[in-house]
Chains A and B, each alone.
Chain A
């Protein structure tokens, strides 16, 4: 562009200049009226109005039959499937009520069910203690839960003839308590294993790092069903006859290995979030590698990974349904088996069973995810 003389700049007057300030807009209302709110959120234009009406139409079509099925037409108590087979009957909650002990305990002997109750109650108390972030003495609770409780639970559930508790074969275990058992064993075993794998992956020793990375990528690349099949069919071949693990122990080992690979990635994320300054500060204080990890790094990293651990637990709890493939009677399998009972046969039984199972899993998983959000928020604000 050619250089311009100073005079030409003044000759470039703007086309339009205001002579007085523009009129001010009125201030926004302090509180919007209900109709304004509705209009802004739902009817802000012809397309949003159309979409709101479409959503309302779908809800109007789907919600009344659902409510009728679940509440108004449902059969709440009946001795057998007669009332549930009547035309127009809804969900057969009587069936759920009758089968509830089977859903909780499986085929565990009736006179020994107090042992399952004791294990579940103590477990609930300890888990509540650990999950309540402001609880006193959580370290004792952690020690109890991770070290003492497994032994206590194993002795009570399996039975110890020497202590006067008759042995109960693992083929009789089933229902909710098996689902919780598989998930709990998965988490309890995968935390230390996952930490070791994550540290191994970040290690400077190539052999360790290769082996850890190989294991993690291998387990994360295959479906869980194949890991369960591998544990169920290949494990007895790899160990001598004398050490052959029993029918429940094999899927538990498979679940523990699978969960530890995913936990290793979660812990690795937490370790990566620790700034290098922490390592350097510990080295400046003269701490060797292992005490550095134990006293400085891991406490911080594990605080960061709590939301990830809870998410892993939710995923693991949903994945416990897969152990039915190797013959373990978890909660979903008991529902699936109970719906075939000829006494209760009817057109609504399958849907009733599945809706009940879905409600159970939804309440549990949604509750845990809300808890994880709460923990994340607390961690975010506490720094």
Chain B
């Protein structure tokens, strides 16, 4: 049968027409229908697999007496945690243990992030130095720490260094009255007496006033003379107000120094060797990666920018600050965010050296005691996913504002 001529009107681009072939093949030869059918098949297969998994899980969990819901979080924990930022004892609930682990993870991550960023930026800049000794030293550091697994470095710091430190009686004395021994790092502690609130309020007021006056000064036309006076004035506002409040309130803040009494130290705060090893290992490892990120960001700025800045007569320091650094930050920021996320995820290695972070406390001890694998792992993963998603969202917002507009 001769086919009729082509349809009088060609189909509009982008609109899928139905029924282009001959029945009964008209359905299958149409890409729109095919895609819908494939998607239905795909969703059906995934849905069936998940249904089977849930049914099996329920049956297995009931057979082994494992709790099915989240009610076990109200049960008594029965184990102690040797470092916690909130009050916790063996009679607290599993839910409270979850909170303690979460806060410990946040603490380790925060300190690790700050230290890693500072060290990584320094080493990244050192790698770009024209001084060969400094550049090679930084290269050796980066290559040595990037090619050795983080777990090995953590175990080294914990077992071979911190546990090999001398006993409290022969501690190493550090500056500011701190002591290092195999029971941990003992540092002076800030003691807040009555009236410390006023110092805090004065500090807040001073900083806000300093920021406000700095903006006021900068909004006016710049003057050569009087810059030093303006800077001193701002510093006086930020530091002088709290200092005045400190003395007026009768010195409410003081230091409590650790002192050796017998075989141990009394007073001051004690940082566990596990904590020190984890922070040290994480910071040094991530600093090597951050150094590479900084180096990549600075080297991605075209050389013409430095040359143009030099042609304009800008000193090298000012050129770095006003020309190179802002452009380098475009590449550094997303890479830096992913390294931050790596550090937060790597803090879960605390499970190997016994530091009570979220994974060690919740997905380790609580999971072993209750056997509620699905709930525990789900909660742990939810925490890390929330952190990752927040960071991704923040980075996408930043990219949308600052990234290069592609043509």
Chain A residues proximal to chain B, CB less than 8 Å: 41-42, 44, 48, 51-52, 55-56, 58-59, 204-208, 211, 217-218, 220-226, 229-230, 233-234, 236-241, 314, 318-319, 321-322, 324-325, 332, 336, 339, 347, 350-351, 354, 357-358, 361-362, 365-366, 369
Contact = CB atoms under 8 A, between A and B. Distances in A.
B148 A51 contact: no
B151 A226 contact: no
B384 A222 contact: yes
Contacts of B133: 41-42, 51-52, 55-56
Among A52, A325, A361, A369: residue with most chain B CB under 10 A: A325
Nearest to B380: A226
B42 A208 contact: yes
B122 to A, nearest CB: 12
A59 B149 CA distance: 24
Contacts of B146: 365
B385 A222 contact: yes
A234 B130 contact: no
Nearest to B54: A238
B160 interface: yes
Contacts of A354: 152, 155-156, 159-160
B351 interface: yes
Among A321, A347, A369: residue with most chain B CB under 10 A: A321
Nearest to A366: B147
Contacts of B42: 205, 207-208, 211
Contact of B56 (A217, A221, A239, A319): A239
B377 A318 contact: no
Given A205-B35, A229-B377, A361 B384 contact: no
Interface stretch (B200-208, B245-253, B271-279, B342-350): B342-350
B300 interface: no
A363 to B, nearest CB: 9
Given A217-B389, A234-B57, A240-B56, 17 more contacts: A41-B130, A48-B130, A58-B137, A59-B137, A208-B39, A208-B42, A223-B346, A223-B359, A226-B380, A230-B377, A234-B374, A237-B66, A239-B53, A332-B151, A351-B160, A361-B152, A369-B147
B345 A236 contact: no
Contact of A221 (B46, B132, B388): B388
Contacts of B143: 366
A103 to B, nearest CB: 14
Contact of B150 (A48, A56, A241, A318): A318
Contacts, number: 154
Interface residues of B, number: 54
A204 B35 contact: yes
Contact of B137 (A55, A225, A238, A240): A55
A42 B56 CA distance: 68
Among B39, B130, B151: residue with most chain A CB under 10 A: B151
Nearest to A37: B132
Interface string B118-158: 00000000000111111001000001101111111001100
A225 B39 contact: no
B352 interface: yes
Contact of B164 (A52, A234, A241, A350): A350
Contact of B39 (A205, A222, A324): A205
A350 B158 CA distance: 10
B3 to A, nearest CB: 20
Contacts of A42: 131-133
A225 B39 CA distance: 33
Interface string B371-392: 0011001001100110111001
B332 interface: no
User: For chain B, what secondary structure do more than half of its interface residues adopt (helix, strand, loop), or is it mixed?
Assistant: helix
Contact of B57 (A237, A321, A347): A237
Nearest to B350: A225
Contacts of A230: 373, 377, 381
Interface string B10-51: 000000000000000000000000010011001100100000
Interface in B217-263: none
A350 B131 contact: no
30 contacts: A41-B130, A42-B131, A42-B133, A48-B130, A48-B134, A52-B133, A55-B133, A59-B137, A205-B38, A207-B43, A211-B42, A217-B388, A217-B389, A221-B385, A221-B387, A222-B381, A223-B384, A225-B351, A236-B60, A237-B373, A237-B374, A239-B53, A241-B60, A324-B352, A339-B159, A351-B156, A354-B156, A358-B156, A361-B152, A362-B144
Nearest to B50: A238
Among B348, B351, B389: residue with most chain A CB under 10 A: B348
Contacts of B57: 234, 237-238
Given A205-B35, A206-B39, A221-B389, A321 B377 contact: no
The 7 tightest CB contacts between A and B, nearest first, are: A221-B388, A233-B373, A365-B147, A223-B345, A207-B39, A223-B348, A318-B149
Contacts of B380: 226, 229
A22 B137 CA distance: 43
B290 interface: no
A217 to B, nearest CB: 8
Contacts of A237: 56-57, 60-61, 66, 373-374
A318 B288 CA distance: 15
A178 to B, nearest CB: 15
